[in-house]
Structure 1
C-alpha cells in the first residue's frame, strides 16, 4: 500500500467528518434532532467536551489534558503508520490503522479550534461542576466561545434502534427503560470504532501474512549462512 492511499483515506474521512460537523453546528440548535430514516436513524446535535460517546472528566483542566493526549496520539499515529508501511503489513491492517488515525485527527480539530472559530459552545461551570448548554445557532466568529485546546467535539449520529423495559427480575435495572443504541457519535468516532473492531475481528488474517514474511526472511538468512559455511 502506498502513502498516497493513506493520504486519500485520511482526507476523505476528515472532509466528510468536518463538513457534517460544521453543518450541524451552524444549522441545529443544541439538543434538537431531525429524522433521517424513520425514528431509528436521526441527526441529533449534542456537544461533547470529553472523549468518544460522551465520556468526560476534570472540567477545563481535564479538557486540556484530553486534547494534549489527542495531540500526542496523533503524533504517535503518524510515526506508526510510516513504520507499518515500511514493514509491509497486511493492507487491511494498514487501512484500519489509517481509519483510527483519521478519526483521531477529526476529533482533535474540534478540540483545538472549534472554541476559537465559533461564537457559541458548551462552557464549564465550576459551581455545578458540569458543562452548560447554550441557546440559538452558532456562527463563525473572531470572538470564540473558548480558547485554543478547549473546543467541544460535535456529535450527531443517533441510532435508537430498540426501545424496551428491563424485566423486574433483572438486578439494579429491573423495571427501567432501555434503549439500543443510546450513544450519539460522529464520523470520526465511527472511523475509530470501525478500525478497532476490524482489527479485532481479522487480527489472525492481518498478522499471519506479516509473520509469514518474517519467517521467510529468517529462512533465507539461515540458508545463506549455511551455504557460506559449507564453502569455507
Structure 2
C-alpha cells in the first residue's frame, strides 16, 4: 500500500541549519545588535510564558518588564489559597514556562505556516496579543517601543502582505521563538545569578528547588524537549501528499 504523504527532508534540514546559524550569529557582537529587536521579542515570549502560567495556576500577572540589555522580569503575586494544586508544583511550572513556553509557541507557528490562510490567522493573533500585552502588562520604555513596533509590523503584513511573505514571516517567528531557549543556554545551566546586588535563582534553579532533582537535569530536559518540538513541528509542516 502506497504512502499517502511524503516528507520533505531537505526542508527540515534547511530549517535546522538556519536555526543553528541564527543562534551562532546571535551570539556574536554584531549579530546581537543586528537581531536586537528579536532579542527583545524573545524576552517577551519568555516572560509572557511566566506570566500566563502564573494566572493558569491561580496567581495574578501584574506587570512585565523588558530591559535594554535583553533581560526581563514578569511580576506575579500569589496567596497560598490561590493555587489550584500543590504550591511547589505550581511555582515550578511557572518557572518552566518561561523556558518551555517559547518553543511551544514556536512549534505552533511553524506548523501553522504550512498554509497561507493559517499564516494570516497567526499574524493577526500574534500581533493583537503583542499590542494588548503592552496595554495590560508591559511597563518599560524599551519593551513598549519594540513590542508595539513589531506588533504593528506584523499586523501590517497580515493586512497588506502577500501570502508568500506572510508564510515566511510566520516561519521566521517560529524559529525565533524556539531558539530563544538555545541562545540563552548559559542561563539554562546556571543555578543562580546576581541582579542589582541580590542573588536570585535562575528558572532551572527554581525548578530544582520547587520540584526536586538538579538544575542541570531540568536544563537538559528543557533542551531535549525543545529540540523534539522543533523536529515534530518541521515534520508536520513538511508532510506533503504525493503528486499523482
For normalisation by structure 2, the TM-score amounts to 0.30
For normalisation by structure 1, the TM-score amounts to 0.31
- Larger strand fraction of residues: 1
Considering only CA atoms, is the larger Rg found in Structure 1 or Structure 2? 1
- Larger helix fraction of residues: 2
